[in-house]
Chain A
Amino acid sequence: MQRRHFPLLSIHVGYFKASAIKHTSEATKMKQKEGVIKPKTKRAKRFLDNRAPKLTENVKNAMIMKGGNTSMTVTQALKDIYSLKKPSAVLYKKKNITRPFEDSTSLEFFSKKTDSSLFLFGSHNKKRPNNLIFGRLFDFHVLDMIELGIEKYRSLSEIKNSKCPEGTKPMLVFAGEAFDHDDDHKRLKSLLTDFFRGPVVPSVRLAGLEHVLHFTALEGKIYMRSYRSLLKKSGCRTPRIELEEIGPSFDFVLRRTHLASDDLYKTAHRQPKALKPKKKKNISHDTFGTKFGRLHMQKQDLAKLQTRKMKGLRKRRGPAAAAAAAGETSPKTAKVEVE
């Protein structure tokens, strides 16, 4: 068990201070997967089931770590992003002397330990000052990595006002044509959405839509701003928005990228069949959105079809009857003519 790297905060809900020891025991359980050694207690089984592949997955955990050399800017930036991503993030205190773009084994090892599929690696050297690498993993192997350089940075503590509570699901806005046209920017958009979106929920408290993260791509740079939204009264039901800048503000410049190959990307997106929405048979929609249904009927004998009965037009039996019918119908027709 490598003793160098201890997470600052245990990410398992419900485990608090005494969990330091428990966490390591869980970590050792992780070493022996279910196939090799079967869990002997229910708790261990629950722990392993939580980490096993599922149909609907857990919130993605992020691990935030420092490289061999870091500057004040980078450490502060990492801390700020950690507070944005709490509680589904782990911030490592110690430095890790690795280079993600060259060797990703260390990252993969840590992701297995803490069951994280997102990472943020901060470093600083002369060639690449104030470097942040955002990345994600699939099946504990690196999928995408994008390197961003911090050009201008204002931390949470610099902007003095009241902040949003921890764990609020943020609203994300991506502005700029580059996010639609450039491949790297598209991948970055997807990565940032994945990183910051938080848990997927079926419903959201209207008053709790406080936090907004706004990304603007302009002239090869990416500006990230974090605001707190105030819902003011407008004349109608929908409120008027006023923004107040709170959180960290970054001016990023896009540096290197390591994007996944097409087939790996496709495999990562493969959804299990059970999650696909079931198609309702015999229901179709046309271009206007009208819903059409189909009924399957048995063959009907048109001769025996039940229609409205016109008593007067019924066939009478015999010629005398026919004359009587004619006599009867004529005053009716006469009436119609008058009108």
Chain B
Amino acid sequence: MAACSIEDVLAKAEQDEAEKLKSITVQKELDLEFDIGNLVAYDVNRIDIRQFREQKKDDFLRSLARDNTQLLINEIWKHPTERVEEVIVVKLPEPTTVLPREKPPPKPRPPTKWEEFAKLKGIQKKKKTNLVWDDVAKNELHRLRNIARAQKIKVPGVGLTPTAQQSKTDLVRAVNVAKVSTASAGKFQDRLPKEKAPRNTGKKRKFQPVIGNFSNEKQRQLDLLKVMDSKKPRLDVNKAVNKQMREDDREESAAKFRKGGKKGRKGGNFSGKGKGGKGKGGGGKGRAGGKGQGPPGGKKGAGKPGKR
């Protein structure tokens, strides 16, 4: 029957397996302990002294060694292997026997001056991201350089040459420059519905029109002459007050530093800030009072602002 032959086949297969394994199996009373990390095997089985004496010592030891080594090799072969450059290598685990160290473990080094400074300031180590050279941008840059060389003009600035990562400001600048570079200097370029007007463009200095308000011009010239005539120095109370306060601060902080080192310096800083705040308020008052000479409302913007 089919079932019998299957059983036979299975039995035969088992026999074959046993035959194969016979060559590498070793019978031992107690299992050996292994430390594969160090390639060590510990055999705690009792050694038959009578057998040892009967046989030649060397032969007995050799057969014992063969058995133990076979078991050790069996154990090593159980571990995962990999192929490294045409060589088959077995990955060993960590050694399990604790052996004494050679030297005591290293003591933590005292922090260096920079490390202390960084800790004080709260500076953290920042790893530089690996910047990869962008081929597209490189091509663009070379193309623009060639054009510049051909036409004997300069390569446009960083914002316009395309790079891999362009920040918002770069893009905005590029857009603005593109807008202005039309025949009519961007006067008739429409803006997108939500686009904001470009800031920081336009003239940097404002001059009065050549032929405008005659009375204004006359008044201004006369004032200038009056100031030049007067013998008294013109006192900007705001500026004077701020200058005095700054000097006071400096003196105080120097005195505190001389007194108490770090602590004093920190305290001095705080007091300086406080004084600065008060100074603003004082300056404002001073400004209102001092500038009584010129028209009170008009000159406020033009006059020198107080020290911030």
Contacts and interface: CB of A to CB of B under 8 A. Distances in A.
A212 B65 contact: yes
B100 interface: yes
Given A206-B81, A207-B88, A218-B52, A269 B73 contact: no
Contacts of A55: 105-106
A139 interface: yes
A173 B19 contact: no
A241 B66 contact: yes
A338 interface: no
Contact of B101 (A138, A204, A225): A138
A243 interface: yes
Given A54-B106, A237-B77, A202 B65 contact: no
B66 A200 contact: no
Contacts of B77: 206, 237-239
B98 A269 contact: yes
B42 A200 contact: no
Contacts, number: 183
B267 interface: no
Contacts of A175: 43, 45, 47, 64-65, 68
Contacts of B43: 173-176
A224 to B, nearest CB: 10
Q: Which of A197, A245, A249, A269 has the most CB of B within 10 A?
A: A197
B57 interface: yes
A135 interface: no
Secondary structure of the A side of the interface? mixed
A227 B67 CA distance: 13
A263 interface: no
Interface in A91-110: none
Interface string B50-86: 0010000110011011101110111011000110100
A321 interface: no
B203 interface: no
- Say which size band chain A's interface belongs to: 35 or more
A204 B88 CA distance: 9
B41 A173 contact: yes
B103 A197 contact: no
A190 interface: yes
Contacts of A139: 103-104
A54 B103 CA distance: 8
Contacts of B72: 171, 173
A236 B58 CA distance: 30
Given A243-B66, A272-B106, A238 B101 contact: no
Contacts of B107: 53
B21 A241 contact: no
Contacts of B74: 238
A245 B81 CA distance: 28
B46 interface: yes
B177 to A, nearest CB: 51
Contacts of A243: 62, 65-66, 69
B139 interface: no
A223 interface: yes
Interface in A188-232: 189-190, 193-194, 197, 200-207, 209, 212, 214, 216, 218-219, 223, 225, 227, 229, 231
Given A227-B69, A237-B77, A238-B73, A190 B97 contact: yes
Given A204-B90, A223-B57, A234-B23, A265 B100 contact: yes
A202 B52 CA distance: 38
Interface string A131-143: 0000011111001
B45 to A, nearest CB: 7
A223 B57 CA distance: 10
14 contacts: A173-B42, A173-B65, A173-B72, A174-B42, A175-B45, A175-B68, A190-B99, A204-B92, A212-B65, A212-B69, A218-B49, A225-B65, A229-B73, A270-B105
Task: Please list the 3 inter-chain residue pairs (A to B) with the smallest Cβ-Cβ separation, ordered nearest first.
Answer: A235-B20, A268-B100, A272-B105
Given A55-B105, A205-B87, 19 more contacts: A53-B106, A53-B107, A55-B106, A117-B102, A117-B103, A140-B103, A171-B41, A173-B41, A176-B47, A200-B37, A207-B88, A214-B65, A236-B20, A237-B77, A240-B24, A240-B70, A270-B104, A271-B105, A272-B106
